[in-house]
A and B are shown apart, each in its own frame.
Chain A
Amino acid sequence: MSDQSAAVADEDERIKEVSNLRKAMIRPELGSICGTILVFVFFLLVARDSGMFAADGILNWGIVSAQFAIIAVGACLLMIAGEFDLSVGSMIGFSGIVIALMSVTWGFPMWVAIITAFTVAMAIGWLNGYLVIKTGLPSFIVTLAFLYILRGLTIFAATAATNKTIIGGVREVAKGDWLAAVFGGKIFAGLFVWLAELGVVETFVAGTRKGQPVIDGIPMLIVWALGLIIFAHIVLTRTQFGNWIYASGGDAQAARYTGVPVNRVKIMMFVFTAFCATVFATCQVMEFGSAAADRGLLKEFEAIISVVIGGALLTGGYGSVIGAALGALIFGVVQQGLFFAGVESSLFRVFLGAILLLAVILNTYIRRMITGEK
């Protein structure tokens, strides 16, 4: 008897050893963690003297990464729930034009324009989800239709109302508006003045802003990105709803049998994706001081690629918000890093295609390890 139990204990220990190794291996974020390290090492070697890692350089690729991250978070939860949204880019253009038309052209207060844009965009997100659920068509097709419909409507609305596809003058209308500041403002300005006095951050040496620090605060865009990443990560891993997201994408029928409201979960994820796209659009409109009907082109694919680099499976049910955020960081660092390093920018697309392929192959391999498929 005692012999037997010792043998069982032995066996358990052996299994555990294997499992720890595998556990470390089969995390969705694994690829993106390695990728992030590689990318930073590479640019530290290649572009250290270019100013890429000075305060204003960091802010530069930080902002670009944050933009990718905001739409990647939405795409990530949606992909884990088993669906895609190809209309994200068109949604960005659409929301921006709604804000500019309402505020600049029609004279509504900026906060009314922003709230309207969010409401309309999220309603369209809901419609995307509703059509996918009701028709049973792949979300690929339904949202591809909206990619065209929204882009066309945006260009039509802008030209019909103003005879132009670019509407400027947003900054003047936004001045002093409380909600505009939530998307276009900066925080911790005082901190950077202090850091500049300490000599940690450089100051302008000439021009109208002579003596001021080169960074005058953290843009709200970055705050939104970090906030959305933390929020989505907690929802996905720490809540009941998060379990439902995994279940809906893992096997919708199995989830339904156990009482998971799959349709509601999927539709809510379409709405959340639309919300993220509108956050992106609003920040961008505030930053540029204008809206353009062609903004956001190809953004849906950049979001999806970030998510896939982050380890999510295109087939749903598996993935990580932290991974997607790292995917967005890799994206931003490489895009801006090539610029700092003086490399021809068209090579960025070559890099994108290559890394996408690599990530998908790695993810497929990880999936086999988890499910034991051959």
Chain B
Amino acid sequence: MSEPIIQMKNIEKHFGSVIALNGVSLDVLPGECHCLLGDNGAGKSTFIKTMSGVHRATRGEIFFEGKPLDFARPRDAIAAGIATVYQDLAMIPLMSVSRNFFMGNEPLKKVAGISFFDHDHANEVTVQEMKSMGINLRGPDQAVGTLSGGERQTVAIARAVYFGAKILILDEPTSALGVRQTSNVLATVDRVRNKGIAVVFITHNVRHALAVGDRFTVLNRGKTLGTANRGEITPEELQDLMAGGQQLATLEGSLGGTV
């Protein structure tokens, strides 16, 4: 089995007196879809924000490709290849798809020694990348505001993939979507994984997780109860773990091997 891209060991995060994370461990393998499950407030978002440089862990260790790591800013994480699609997507509805796609990473071309935004290149890439994710845009200058929730999610994912993500973190990409849009996003997750990119997929929906996940880690009240492989755990067991692991005893068998 290949080496993990990122290893998070006993991560703790305190906000003043609030202990949001109380010793969470998780590793991500290349090309896997690792599902992070948990009820609202379990600490999922906080955990992935320590992974993407938004928060600094209060305690714990992070290894990226085997080396200890300490991201000071989101930019550092992005530069290292950790791309995050936050719950609010970081998209601007009033701006065109192509302007959003390249926001912060605008392609430049020099004319008479002055750098200009290369709109032709940006438009071409945007249309092509969206097509490869199964979305036909009306045009690259279509405003993001006119896209459906699932399409916006896909633009955000396509953007992260295009800019060279090794790990793609998706924070609840399906929680606000209808059935059809959800299945589109799940198909997109599958496409991304097939490119060899590791996906960390956050959800509180067991069915969504089981549809695409290779491994499953459950967070409950700031703690992990372990990581299970696909096929070693049933939907009912995942559901119980999310609810607090009252029936933990019955699960020890299925988790034992991987904890």
* A:310-337 near B, CB below 8 Å: 313, 317-318
**Segment of B38-46, B104-112, B202-210 engaged in the interface with chain A:** B104-112
The reply to whether A12 and B136 form a contact with Cβ atoms under 8 Å apart is yes
A246 partner residues in chain B, CB cutoff 8 A: 92, 94-95, 99
Q: Smallest distance from the beta carbon of A153 to chain B beta carbons, Å? A: 38
Distance, CA A15 to CA B139, complexed state (A): 10
The answer to whether the Cβ of B169 comes within 8 Å of any Cβ in the partner chain is no
Most buried by A among B95, B138, B141, B143: B95
* Residues of chain B having any CB pair with chain A under 8 Å: 74-75, 78, 84, 86, 88-95, 99, 102-106, 108, 115-117, 119, 136, 138-139, 141-143, 145-146
Most buried by A among B88, B104, B117, B139: B104
Whether A250 contacts B117 in the complex (CB less than 8 A), given A260-B103, A370-B146, comes out as no
* A:19-39 near B, CB below 8 Å: 19, 23
The reply to whether B117 and A243 form a contact with Cβ atoms under 8 Å apart is yes
The answer to whether the Cβ of A255 comes within 8 Å of any Cβ in the partner chain is yes
The answer to whether the Cβ of A242 comes within 8 Å of any Cβ in the partner chain is yes
The answer to whether the Cβ of A186 comes within 8 Å of any Cβ in the partner chain is no
A/B interface sample: 8 pairs, CB < 8 A: A242-B117, A246-B92, A247-B92, A257-B84, A259-B78, A259-B105, A318-B94, A371-B143
Q: Which listed residue (A19, A240, A257) contacts B106, Cβ 8 A?
A: A240
The answer to whether the Cβ of A207 comes within 8 Å of any Cβ in the partner chain is no
Q: Chain A residue with minimal CB distance to B98? A: A243
Most buried by B among A16, A242, A246, A258: A258
Q: Which listed residue (B103, B108, B119, B138) contacts A19, Cβ 8 A?
A: B138
The reply to whether A19 and B142 form a contact with Cβ atoms under 8 Å apart is yes
Distance, CA A258 to CA B83, complexed state (A): 10
A255 partner residues in chain B, CB cutoff 8 A: 90, 92, 103-104
Distance, CA A313 to CA B84, complexed state (A): 30
Whether A250 contacts B93 in the complex (CB less than 8 A), given A12-B136, A239-B116, A239-B117, comes out as yes
Q: Which listed residue (A244, A247, A254) contacts B88, Cβ 8 A?
A: A254
Q: Smallest distance from the beta carbon of B22 to chain A beta carbons, Å? A: 27
Q: Chain B residue with minimal CB distance to A237? A: B117
Q: Smallest distance from the beta carbon of B53 to chain A beta carbons, Å? A: 11
The answer to whether the Cβ of A372 comes within 8 Å of any Cβ in the partner chain is yes
- The interface on chain A, measured as residues whose beta carbon lies within 8 A of the other chain's beta carbons, has a size of 31
The reply to whether B94 and A254 form a contact with Cβ atoms under 8 Å apart is no
Q: Chain B residue with minimal CB distance to A16? A: B138
Distance, CA A371 to CA B94, complexed state (A): 6
* 16 more A-B residue pairs beyond the given contacts A16-B138, A257-B90, with a C-beta to C-beta distance below 8 A: A12-B136, A19-B139, A240-B108, A244-B104, A246-B95, A247-B104, A251-B90, A253-B88, A257-B84, A258-B103, A259-B78, A259-B104, A259-B105, A260-B103, A317-B92, A372-B93
The reply to whether A243 and B99 form a contact with Cβ atoms under 8 Å apart is yes
A367 partner residues in chain B, CB cutoff 8 A: 94
Q: Which listed residue (B94, B115, B142) contacts A240, Cβ 8 A?
A: B115
Distance, CA A317 to CA B144, complexed state (A): 13
The reply to whether B108 and A251 form a contact with Cβ atoms under 8 Å apart is no
The reply to whether B139 and A250 form a contact with Cβ atoms under 8 Å apart is no
Most buried by B among A8, A16, A19: A19
The reply to whether B91 and A254 form a contact with Cβ atoms under 8 Å apart is yes
Whether A258 contacts B117 in the complex (CB less than 8 A), given A16-B138, A251-B92, A372-B146, comes out as no
The answer to whether the Cβ of A238 comes within 8 Å of any Cβ in the partner chain is yes
Distance, CA A373 to CA B144, complexed state (A): 12
* A:42-63 near B, CB below 8 Å: none
B141 partner residues in chain A, CB cutoff 8 A: 23
Whether A254 contacts B108 in the complex (CB less than 8 A), given A259-B78, A371-B145, comes out as no
